[in-house]
Amino acid sequence: MTPWLGLVVLLGSWSLGDWGAEACTCSPSHPQDSFCNSDIVIRARVVGKKLVKEGPFGTLVYTIKQMKMYRGFTKMPHVQYIHTEASESLCGVKLEVNKYQYLLTGRIYDGKVYTGLCNFVERWDQLTISQRKGLNYRYHLGCNCKIKSCYYLPCFVSSKNECLWTDMLSNFGYPGYQSKHYACIRQKGGYCSWYRGWAPPDKSVINATDP
């Protein structure tokens, strides 16, 4: 078993690709959770790829040009290669060469960066302005907060460090408005709440459960 197979269980995240890809099943995760749970978060362009004999169906190794790093400075300040399963049924992710810039998240195993469909992987031009702001300076402010998923009503927060995530209840499906436009940030008094806007976070004007 290659290191990425363990990631399928350990890191379920919003991702690029087909949620119904055969055996690959990913639990929805807010982009902030994906950011906070990743060893590496970067913006990069794919400049090459090759298939290596590793794992049951091989491993795709993407050569990338790193444009900017958002997380992972102390672990691997410059990433040159991204590894993923060659098969989408094992959550391997397909990236276009010399076409787009991507937001890539992943985990480090044995000095290599691994990613896949259960990670937050998206074309940079498909991210919202709020998501880009989150990557730059908001998401890391909420890594001590907990985003609690709500699949069925009623749902409640059970502690002051929780934000209730209700995208899965929306008629528009997932990813939804909270995923695209909000970050869960610790406010005054130690409470965590959804935040969107230009001004500094302020608990007095933000409800802890309703973005």
The closest alpha carbon to 113, from 57, 48, 40, 51, belongs to: 40
> Alpha-carbon dihedral of residues 185, 188, 192, 197, nearest 10 degrees?
-40
The closest alpha carbon to 147, from 132, 134, 157, belongs to: 157
- Please report the pLDDT score of residue 197 as a whole number: 65
Neighbours of 203 (CB within 10 A): 17
> Alpha-carbon dihedral of residues 6, 13, 136, 101, nearest 10 degrees?
90
Token pair recorded at residue 54 = 């590793």
Separation CA 66–CA 153 (nearest Å): 42
Separation CA 102–CA 137 (nearest Å): 18
The closest alpha carbon to 150, from 57, 28, 33, belongs to: 28
Three-state secondary structure call for residue 163: strand
Separation CA 54–CA 177 (nearest Å): 39
Q: In a 10 Å sphere around its CB, with 0-12 CB exposed, 13-18 middle and 19+ buried, how is residue 31 labelled? A: buried
Residue-by-residue pLDDT tens, the chain, 211 positions: 444 444 443 344 444 444 334 578 888 899 999 999 999 999 999 999 999 988 778 999 999 999 999 999 999 999 999 999 999 989 999 999 999 999 999 999 999 999 999 999 999 999 999 999 999 999 999 999 999 999 988 999 999 999 999 998 876 556 789 999 999 999 888 899 999 865 444 443 333 333 3
Separation CA 126–CA 111 (nearest Å): 30
- Please report the pLDDT score of residue 22 as a whole number: 56
The residue type found at 130 is: S
If you search the block for the tokens 């990069």, which residue do you land on? 44
Domains and CATH numbers, the chain: 27-127 (2.40.50.120), 128-202 (3.90.370.10)
pTM: 0.81
The answer to whether 24 is annotated as binding is yes
Contact 35, 139 (CB under 8 A): yes
- Please report the pLDDT score of residue 202 as a whole number: 44
H/E segment holding residue 69? strand 59-71
Q: Spell out the residues 6+ positions from residue 14 whose beta carbon is closer than 8 angstroms to its own.
A: 28, 29, 30, 31, 34, 120, 174, 175, 179
